[in-house]
Structure 1
């Protein structure tokens, strides 16, 4: 890669992070629904047009790298299914998310607290999870070993239950940061349904 291109890309990445931090502070101070792109641009000392070079919408500031969509989970689930039962494979797949980006967990908790204050954002977060579920179900279904139609149903139930466990644990941790570790919350949520593996029933 041309060195000048690498420098520009790093500079662009740094500005994107800085802009996201400014936007997050605005959301926390003013409320997400009350904050406009113009407000964010003004606070960052840029034009709205420049904002849109980095984010398609103000919602993208929160969702572009909000876990678990920031990780290639279908591939990770496939790897875990090679050696683990379905529910435990889902557990370990989603457990990998906070482990892999531990350094950003403070920002995660702030983002999720903002998401939980807005009906619009909660709906967007649900849509994100539904899209993620659609990518995981075809990976899990063939590993359940029963009639195809029932395996698809069971895979849907297991995947949605796993994502609910992750999301509930993540929200609980964000609201109680300092009292509980995120991995502890994830493990506790999944252990609630520790007998969910078809192989154990």
Structure 2
């Protein structure tokens, strides 16, 4: 039911916002792949998405934000999944399961930078990935402090577990990106390699 002031209902507004954001993401991903990141302009993205430049800047600060359009949502899901894990689970196991659950819940979510090596954008992608991982490690560390047995240096122990787990995930990101430079990488490779990375991590931990 429409509001008396003529504005659409809140639920409809949110759906339209989501549709607009997705249209911009899809248009940018296609143009980046076809023309390259450096050669693609905001004007071309908005034209392809069928929106105005003003609308674009309501959702994104720059075209660089569209290089990794779903990174924040993906990392938010990991934090949420970790918060749901049983408290009695070992910290590293809980983190592994949280990461895998987050990926499984959105199997079609793809980082543009992983799907298409973008000439001229590698430095931007690398900087944004590093920053995002550091921020995620901080968020996970705070949750792990609550899960680990209390004692001296619990904050340090939590940080080591979080950073170690994210290192395994970084290794998968790097592997997929490197493989894409020389070969066709099947869809789903990222998700397939994650359990292997965590298995290697578990083996290395057991040997210490």
RMSD, aligned α-carbons: 3.0
Where does structure 1 differ by over 6 angstroms across 4 or more consecutive aligned residues? Answer: none
**Paired residues, what number?**
195
Segments of structure 2 that go 5 or more residues without pairing to the other structure are none
Shift in CA distance, 122/2, structure 1 to aligned 2, threshold 3 Å: farther
TM-score by length of 2: 0.76
Establish whether residue 189 from structure 1 lines up as the match of residue 197 from structure 2. Answer: yes
CA displacement at 1:185 relative to structure 2: 0.6
Segments of structure 1 that go 5 or more residues without pairing to the other structure are none
Per-residue deviation, residues 69-122 of structure 1 (Å, max 9, x unmatched): 241x334223325131111111111111111112x24xx054423477521121
Per-residue deviation, residues 129-164 of structure 1 (Å, max 9, x unmatched): 111111111221343336432x32232222112112
| CA distance in 2: counterparts of 1:25 and 1:77, whole angstroms | 33
TM-score by length of 1: 0.79
Per-residue deviation, residues 21-43 of structure 1 (Å, max 9, x unmatched): 11111111222233232232233
Contact 1:23 1:61 in 2 (8 A): yes
Aligned to 1:21: 26
> 50-59 vs 120-129, which deviates more?
50-59
Aligned to 2:127: 123
Shift in CA distance, 49/109, structure 1 to aligned 2, threshold 3 Å: closer
